[in-house]
Chains A and B, each alone.
Chain A
Amino acid sequence: MNDYSLITLEILAVIVGLGALMVDLWIPASARRALGYGTAAALGCLLAFAAGSLSPQAGLGFHNTFVVDDLARYFKTFFLFGAFVVVLMTVDFAPKIGSGLSEFYALVCFALVGMLFAASANDLVMLFVSLELITVTFYVLNSFQRGRIASLEAGIKYLILGAVASGFMVFGIALVFGSANSTNFGVIASRQAELAHSTVFLTGLLLVLVGLGFKIAAFPFQAWAPDVYQGSPAPATAFLAVGSKAAGFVLLVRLVTQAVPQIAAEWNRLLVVMAAGTIAYGSLCALPQRNLKRLMGYSSIANAGYLLLGVVAMSTSGSTAVLYYLGGYFFTVLAAFTVICAIAEHVEGDDIANLAGLGQRSPFLAAALSIAFVSLAGIPPMVGFFGKVLLLRAVFEGAAAHPSFYLLIAVAVVGVVLSLYYYFGVIRSIYWGANPSSLAPISTSLGTKVALAACIGGIVFLGVAPSSLLKIADQAVQPKSATAAAQHAAAH
Chain B
Amino acid sequence: MPQFTDLLFFAFAGMALLFGFLTVANPVSRNPVTSAMFLVLTIISLAGLYLLLHAFFLAAVQVLVYAGAVMVLFLFVIMLLDIKEEERRRLKTFTVGVGSVAVAALLGILTVSALSAKPGSPAGQTRLAVGDTAELGKVLFNHWLLPFEILSVLLLVAMVGVILLSKKDLK
- Interface of A toward B, CB cutoff 8 Å: 2, 7, 14, 21, 62-63, 65-66, 98-100, 103, 106-107, 110, 113-114, 117, 123, 125-126, 129-130, 132-133, 136-137, 139-140, 143-144, 146-147, 175, 178-181, 194, 198-200, 202-203, 206
A113/B153 in contact, CB under 8 A: yes
B142/A103 in contact, CB under 8 A: no
CB under 8 Å from chain A, chain B span 112-149: 112-114, 116-117, 121-123, 125, 142-147
Q: Flag whether B170 is at the interface (Cβ < 8 A).
A: yes
A179/B122 in contact, CB under 8 A: yes
Shortest Cβ distance from residue A79 to the other chain B in the assembled complex, whole angstroms: 15
Shortest Cβ distance from residue B161 to the other chain A in the assembled complex, whole angstroms: 3
* Complex CA–CA separation, A21 to B146 (angstroms): 23
* Complex CA–CA separation, A110 to B149 (angstroms): 13
Closest to B162 in A: A140
A130/B161 in contact, CB under 8 A: no
A139/B145 in contact, CB under 8 A: no
List residues of chain B with CB within 8 A of the CB of A66.
Answer: 146
B110/A136 in contact, CB under 8 A: no
A65/B146 in contact, CB under 8 A: yes
Shortest Cβ distance from residue B111 to the other chain A in the assembled complex, whole angstroms: 10
Shortest Cβ distance from residue A26 to the other chain B in the assembled complex, whole angstroms: 16
Kindly list 16 other residue pairs between chains A and B, CB separation below 8 angstroms, not including A2-B145, A110-B157.
A2-B146, A99-B169, A100-B164, A103-B164, A110-B153, A113-B153, A129-B147, A139-B161, A140-B164, A179-B121, A198-B117, A198-B121, A199-B116, A199-B117, A200-B116, A203-B110
Instruction: Among A21, A146, A181, point to the contact of B125 (Cβ < 8 A).
Output: A181
List residues of chain A with CB within 8 A of the CB of B150.
Answer: 113-114, 117, 126, 129-130, 133
User: Which 3 A-B residue pairs are closest in the complex by CB-CB distance?
Assistant: A140-B161, A199-B116, A203-B113
Closest to B125 in A: A181
* Complex CA–CA separation, A98 to B168 (angstroms): 12
Q: Can you identify 22 A-B contacts, CB atoms within 8 angstroms?
A: A2-B146, A62-B145, A63-B142, A63-B143, A63-B144, A99-B170, A113-B150, A113-B153, A117-B150, A125-B144, A125-B147, A129-B150, A129-B151, A133-B153, A137-B161, A147-B169, A181-B123, A198-B116, A199-B116, A200-B113, A203-B109, A203-B113
CB under 8 Å from chain A, chain B span 155-171: 156-158, 160-161, 164-165, 169-171
Instruction: Among A137, A146, A206, point to the contact of B157 (Cβ < 8 A).
Output: A137
- With A62-B145, A99-B171, A202-B113 known to touch, is A146 a contact of B165 (CB < 8 Å)? yes
A180/B160 in contact, CB under 8 A: no
Q: Flag whether B11 is at the interface (Cβ < 8 A).
A: no
Shortest Cβ distance from residue A246 to the other chain B in the assembled complex, whole angstroms: 18
List residues of chain B with CB within 8 A of the CB of A110.
Answer: 153, 156-157
* Complex CA–CA separation, A32 to B127 (angstroms): 54
List residues of chain B with CB within 8 A of the CB of A144.
Answer: 164
List residues of chain B with CB within 8 A of the CB of A137.
Answer: 157, 161
* Complex CA–CA separation, A98 to B169 (angstroms): 9
Shortest Cβ distance from residue A15 to the other chain B in the assembled complex, whole angstroms: 11
CB under 8 Å from chain A, chain B span 92-109: 109
List residues of chain B with CB within 8 A of the CB of A62.
Answer: 145-146
List residues of chain A with CB within 8 A of the CB of B121.
Answer: 179, 198
List residues of chain A with CB within 8 A of the CB of B157.
Answer: 107, 110, 133, 136-137, 140
* Complex CA–CA separation, A325 to B147 (angstroms): 30
* Complex CA–CA separation, A110 to B164 (angstroms): 15
* Proximity string of chain B (82-99) to chain A, C-beta cutoff 8 Å, 1 when within and 0 when not: 000000000000000000
- With A21-B160, A103-B160 known to touch, is A140 a contact of B165 (CB < 8 Å)? yes
* Complex CA–CA separation, A199 to B157 (angstroms): 37
Shortest Cβ distance from residue B147 to the other chain A in the assembled complex, whole angstroms: 4
